[in-house]
Amino acid sequence: MKQKALTRRDEILRMAMTTGLASVEELSAAFDVTPSTIRRDLTRLTTQGKLARTYGGAISLANNREASLTQRLGEAHEAKRAIARWAFEQVEAGETIALDGGSTTAALAEELRSHTDLSGVCAVTAGLTAMESLAHADHIDVLALGGRLRALSQSFIGSLAEAAVSRMSFDRAFMGADSVHAERGICEASLDQTRLKELIMERADHVYVLAHAAKLGQSAFHAWAVMPKHWTLVTDQSADPGLLAAFSDRGVEVALATALS
Amino acid sequence: MKQKALTRRDEILRMAMTTGLASVEELSAAFDVTPSTIRRDLTRLTTQGKLARTYGGAISLANNREASLTQRLGEAHEAKRAIARWAFEQVEAGETIALDGGSTTAALAEELRSHTDLSGVCAVTAGLTAMESLAHADHIDVLALGGRLRALSQSFIGSLAEAAVSRMSFDRAFMGADSVHAERGICEASLDQTRLKELIMERADHVYVLAHAAKLGQSAFHAWAVMPKHWTLVTDQSADPGLLAAFSDRGVEVALATALS
DNA sequence: ACACCTATTGCATAGATCGCGCAAGAGGAG
DNA sequence: CTCCTCTTGCGCGATCTATGCAATAGGTGT
């Protein structure tokens, strides 16, 4: 019975997440309990900050968050989603992976969060958005690098982060980038960022750079990270074949993610 | 008159956006109109999809202030707000402060965020909610401890966090707690948490424990943190004088935060 | 200046929802 | 088996909401 109450609250939360809105009457009918019980559940979930109460029902807070996240991703988010899905499929149970900052890796974090069947994965991240996505994912062990929070990129940099990285290693590292270049590697706004990226990549068995087509061949900024010998570029199908050939010629493995559904 | 109605609706929307939450009573008083009028405004804005109606008020859909909103919905938030305000006034420009995890310290983070006149403050935190609040605050230097993210308390623990703490010191440390006891100190769910708290407190010139009245004298769990010689308990006015005397007798400085406006 | 029209406001009433206290029931621990 | 805790259903008073109606303010055309 106590179990039933917990599962019902979880279910309420899930329904509210998917539909964004739930009424007391509907919930009462769906779970075959009195409206009083539903009300009590809702007040509970509200004080836990997971829902907001409305007149006659409740509204999801997390759903709004995800919506705004999608907005923030905004640009090319279908491509990013496809890339994230491809990346997710590389991860195997029990592995320790590094998640870089950036919107594409945040999409990967969302994939990790929603696939609760993957067990024992430890995700190390320097990105705040990725952390937020995984904060409530019980099936993922989240390790955060410390350091100064860089407001613009919403990720950590600095000596604290570097010190933290130097104490661990990763099965796979999924890197974001402002732009990717076949010869120069990945480009960021500051050298602090590229240095941290280099450290992470040095300590990873497999390095993947997640970058949708628009980021290829650009030189948005002038700080470049030295790439490891072997790495994989993961991009979407709209990428220019000529550009991709430049990567392949340099020994970079290229993966094309296909959007589905 | 028609103009007044439009500007009022805009203003309502603006207020809801910034504070995340607005009550019919407050709005009615603020604009000096009857609750009926406010209700009509709210239904209008709701059908326009700009707001969501709650019981006795409205909630912003653009989740700009998700953190503060979650706080407002939570338990005893008036007391926490008063305590946070008192704590905020202790902080002086240029200081480096430690912000523990927990909802009360998250409220302090909100104070720090909203007072943009305070300059040069460096906030070191192990709490995810505090980080989110300060993520977009350009006037605050945010340093995050790394470590394992503990899902329940939304804060970092573990050796990475401890290693990070051991490399810095603080002018002031603002600690949260699940419960506070005059003899035993502050209580948490696990010894990992208390150990990190001890380390932070050891390296701070001034230690404040932020705990509203309901947390005093309780023993919610069985992991206790050893307190430094001198520390300040910050609580609200509804605290039992007998309990407070127990703290004073042990040399603990006691501060009572008064709720205002 | 005057009349007219529309949007808005305040008030009162009726209906719906909410919060709380109380007693009963359903597991879990010893 | 008994005790204990958490949960549930029910009823009541309180609060909030929705709606109709009359009054008012502001804009408009003559």
**Residues A154-187 pLDDT 10s:** 899 999 999 999 999 999 999 999 889 988 899 9
CB contact under 8 A, B144 and A144: yes
**C1'-nearest nucleotide to the CA of A53:** C18
**CB atoms closer than 10 angstroms to residue B84:** 26
**Residue A203 structure tokens:** 């300590």
Describe the crossing of helices B103-114 and B66-73 by its angle, rounded to 10 degrees: 130
**pTM for the structure as a whole:** 0.76
Give the integer Cα–Cα distance in Å for B36 and B199: 55
CA distance A65 to chain B (A): 7
Residues packed against strand C, CB within 7 Å: A 1-3, 24-25, 35-36, 39, 43, 53-57; B 1-2, 4-6, 8, 33-34, 36-37, 40-41, 55
Residue A69 pLDDT grade (very low, low, confident, very high; cuts 50, 70, 90): very low
**pLDDT for A209 beyond 70:** yes
| Fold held by A71-257 | Rossmann fold (3.40.50)
Asked if residue B133 lies in contact with residue B69, where contact means CB atoms within 8 angstroms, the answer is no
**Closest partner CB to B146 (pick from A132, A135, A164):** A164
In this structure, which topology does domain B72-257 adopt according to CATH? Answer: Rossmann fold (3.40.50)
Q: Is the CB of B258 under 7 A from strand D?
A: no
**DSSP β-bridge partners for residue B255:** B234
> Are A258 and A237 contacting, i.e. CB atoms less than 8 angstroms apart?
yes
Confirm whether any atom of chain D, the nucleic acid strand, is less than 7 Å from CB of A10.
no
Residue pLDDT, tens place only, A216-247 = 877 767 889 999 999 999 999 888 888 999 99
pLDDT for A72 equals 45
Q: Please report the pLDDT score of residue B63 as a whole number.
A: 53
Convert the pLDDT of each residue in A42-66 to its tens digit.
988 888 777 888 998 898 876 555 5
Q: Which chain B residue's Cα is nearest to A159? A: B164
pLDDT of the residue at B260: 64
| Residues of A whose CB is below 8 A from B137 | 151
Residues of A in contact with B161 (CB under 8 A): 146
Check: CB of residue A27 under 8 Å from CB of residue A34.
no
Low-confidence ranges of chain B (pLDDT < 70): 1-5, 62-75, 220, 260-261
Contact assignment for B146 to A149 by CB distance below 8 Å: no
Q: Return the nearest residue to D24, CA–C1'.
A: B1
B110 near B71, Cβ under 8 Å?
Answer: yes
Structure tokens, B178 = 């699940």
Q: Measure the CA–CA gap between A64 and B67, rounded to whole angstroms.
A: 13
- Cβ neighbors of A4 (< 8 A, separation 6 or more) are none
* A196 CB burial (10 A radius; 0-12, 13-18, 19+): buried
Percentage of chain A exceeding pLDDT 70: 90
Which is more confidently placed, A14 or B5? A14
Closest by CA position to A148, among listed B168, B93, B207, B104: B168
Chain D bases closer than 7 angstroms to a protein Cβ: 6-11, 15-20, 25-27
CATH number of B2-61: 1.10.10.10
Give the residue extent of every domain in chain A: 2-60, 71-257
Whether B70 contacts chain A with CB within 8 A: yes
Q: Report the pLDDT averaged over residues A115-122.
A: 87
3-class DSSP assignment, residue A166: coil
Q: How far apart are CA B203 and CA B206, in angstroms?
A: 9
* CATH code given to domain A2-60: 1.10.10.10
- With 0-12 / 13-18 / 19 or more C-beta atoms within 10 angstroms meaning exposed / middle / buried, residue B138 is exposed
Give B36 CA → D28 C1' in Å. Answer: 29
What pLDDT is stored for residue A194 in this prediction? 92
Out of A61, A138, A151, whose CB is closest to B136? A151
pLDDT range class, residue A67, cuts 50, 70, 90: very low
**What is the residue-averaged pLDDT of chain A?**
86
User: Residue A80 in contact with residue A73, Cβ under 8 Å?
Assistant: yes
Average pLDDT score over residue span A97-124: 88
Sorting pLDDT into bands at 50, 70 and 90, what band is A95?
Answer: very high
Q: Does B49 touch chain A (CB under 8 A)?
A: no
